[in-house]
Amino acid sequence: EEENVGNMKSQLTNLFYASLRAAFPHEPDVVPLVVASTTKFGDYQCNNAPGLFTKFRRNGTHYMNVHSVGQAIMMNLPPSEMIESCSIGGPGFVNVKLSNNWIAKSIQKMLIDGIGTWSPRLPVRRAVVDFSSPNIAKEMHVGHLRSTVIGDSIARMLEFSNVDVLRRNHVGDWGTQFGMLIEYLFEKFPNVEDVNETAIGDLQAFYKESKKRFETDLAFKARAQKAVVQLQGGESKYLQAWTQICEISRKEFDKIYELLEVHLEEMGESFYNPYIPKVIEALSNQGLVEVNEGARVIFIEGFKIPLIVVKKDGGYNYASTDLAALWYRLNEEKADWIIYVTDVGQQQHFDMVFRAAKGAGWLPDDDGTYPKASHVGFGLVLGEDGKRFRTRSSEVVRLVDLLDEAKSRMLKEAKEKQKKRLTNGIAIQWSEEELEQIAKLVGYAAVKYADLKNNRLTNYTFSFKQMLNCQGNTAVYLLYAYARLCSIIEKFEQNIWELKTTGLLVLDHVDERMLGLHLMRFSEIVEEACSNLLPSVLCDYLYNLSEYFTKFYLNCQVVGSAEETSRVLLCEATATVMRKCFHLLGIVPRNKI
């Protein structure tokens, strides 16, 4: 096992490994399960004794009781400055109390060497994160917001863990809808030169109009279907129209990515199109593709309906593209982890694609080994009426409008706050521009955070009131807490480096210790959030961190106390970890708001 200085849990796990190997050399498979426990006996706990005892009894090996198994584990622990004391509790559980001194020293070391030394180690070199992925000419809706925000956070966490991340926008830029779009474009603009953004105006409206034509006019429908074939056959006039439509749509999407400050690389469905025939050929040669009702399909155990890879009319579909994309990502891009972020409604699709890939030997059967493909599904966004989130006129909610609204609500609040502050004589006087900036920062952060903090699999109710609340687990609360923290340490900014290198951090007060211990858990939490692809784990951590800090600050005087230096260092460490959490969630905090 490689030593990871940042990850307290893995360091402790290594100690227990050593102990288990020494105590029970004939039990090579025992994995030490070290969990944080809420008991007052210790900070971590090894729960292996009962399982081992049962096994020994079965084998006829004699251990008097479960307590003595625990005893053996405890006695064989290598000496370590991490551990303050150990004790045996309940059914042979080994409780570990970590050393205050060690916690303090580790935190101070991070302050000097940087939070990067606390980044997790993952057994992954390169990952593809396929996220956002809206469809050209169609609305980018709240579902795509979830995908964008969750995907960005996952990418950030992996990047922090030193994984080479390919951020892929798998836009829907290749499908039968282009037939009607192109045909409608030709109809509206017989002169190609007339086509441009302003002439088309609202691309979504354009999509709707063309769809209506498609559904009501048979001649148009026939032309549109022919146009698909012409486009896919590579006829230049059609390709040109397609390029124009994509370009207009792309500009719309880019505006949103710019607002959200999310970076993505577009590699849409069309990119993989040239690879499809080869990939399907290879699968056919392996005997995996069968003909079923005129289509070419892959049957997958446990699924009633097969995965269609070539349609009856010879065309390709969503699944053909995803098979080719998976092949490309594994073989050309050499990714070891391929992560897809979409709503849970697409789970079956990805299940089938992954199973087909396993059948073909592209991926190992065992999900515990790499290369690996994972679907990160998320639930629906609901309105406050508990139904699918819609506008009053029952249209899909436009992303831009949501962000705008969050911002303008925050702006209103910030202005009121400003007024109050002035009457109270507190002299922060923001300019109009600064207020605008703050409102944007906090408003957008609130939308992002509300999306991330829920376990992503459950549906969530979109509520401005809730997400913009300055109390509770919201970005607003956290950003204000961070700014307050910054104002405490501001005075020490000038000589903070000196304090870090010559001062001494001690954790004598119980609330100092609790805060310090929580800071030390940062690395294992990020690792857990990465491995399980759950940004919500990091949100919970951040919220708890700010609670531990509040408690500490309430009970421990910082400025002007005898422990001032140590406590300033603890504040500085909290600010450092909070800042990193925000960053991993795609939020940029401000020192002053």
Give 152-213 as a DSSP string: HHHHHHHHHTT-EEEEEE--B-SSTHHHHHHHHHHHH-SSGGG-SHHHH--HHHHHHHHHHH
The CA distance from 543 to 240, in Å, is 51
> Cβ(131)–Cβ(341) under 8 Å?
yes
Binding to ligand ARG, residues 280-339 (CB under 6 A): 322, 325
Would you give the DSSP letter of residue 396? B
Contact window for ligand ARG (CB under 6 A) among 126-134, 328-336, 357-365, 545-553: 126-134
Least Cβ distance, residue 172 to ligand ARG (angstroms): 4
Q: Toward ligand ARG, which CB reaches closer, 138 or 484?
A: 138
Cα–Cα nearest to 308, from 339, 341, 276:
276
Residue 14 or 374 with smaller CB distance to ligand ARG: 374
CB of 5 within 8 A of CB of 23?
no
Q: Which is nearer to ligand ARG, 154 or 520 (CB)?
A: 154
Q: Which stretch binds ligand ARG (CB under 6 A): 110-118, 132-140, 211-219, 300-308?
A: 132-140
The verdict on 454 binding ligand ARG (CB under 6 A) reads no
Number of residues this chain uses to bind ligand ARG (CB under 6 A): 10
Q: In whole angstroms, how close is the CB of 232 to ligand ARG at the nearest point?
A: 18
What span, in angstroms and rounded, lies between the C-alpha atoms of 99 and 142? 47
Contacts of residue 309, defined as CB under 8 A and 6 or more positions apart, other chains included, come to: 280, 283, 289, 296, 297, 298, 316, 317, 319, 320, 323
Q: Which of 447, 459, 472 is nearest to 384 (CA)?
A: 459
Q: Give the residue, chosen from 119, 153, 342, 473, that forms a contact with ligand ARG under the rule CB under 6 A.
A: 342
Nearer to ligand ARG, 133 or 244 (CB): 133
Q: Identify which range of 133-141, 304-312, 437-445, 574-582 contacts ligand ARG by CB under 6 A.
A: 133-141
Is residue 172 within the footprint of ligand ARG (CB under 6 A)? yes
Q: Is 392 helix (H, G, I), strand (E, B) or coil?
A: coil
Residues in the chain: 593
Residue with Cβ nearer ligand ARG (92 or 172): 172
Least distance to ligand ARG, CB of residue 345, Å: 8
Could you tell me the two tokens for 510?
A: 């119980």
Q: 492 is written with which tokens?
A: 């020490």
CB-nearest residue to ligand ARG: 133
The verdict on 133 binding ligand ARG (CB under 6 A) reads yes
Binding residues for ligand ARG restricted to 191-230, rule: CB under 6 A: none
Q: Does 512 bind ligand ARG (CB under 6 A)?
A: no
> Terminal CA-to-CA distance of the chain, rounded, Å?
45
> Using the rule CB under 6 A, is 152 a contact of ligand ARG?
no
Minimum distance from residue 551 beta carbon to ligand ARG (Å)? 43
**Binding segment toward ligand ARG, per CB under 6 A, in 130-138, 232-240, 393-401, 408-416:** 130-138
Q: Which of 515, 519, 518, 528 is nearest to 120 (CA)?
A: 528
Q: Between 325 and 573, whose beta carbon lies closer to ligand ARG?
A: 325
Q: Which stretch binds ligand ARG (CB under 6 A): 131-139, 156-164, 413-421, 452-460?
A: 131-139
Check residue 252 for interaction with ligand ARG (CB under 6 A).
Answer: no
Q: Give CA–CA dist 277/284, Å, rounded.
A: 10
**Residues binding ligand ARG (CB under 6 A):** 130, 133-135, 170, 172, 322, 325, 340, 342
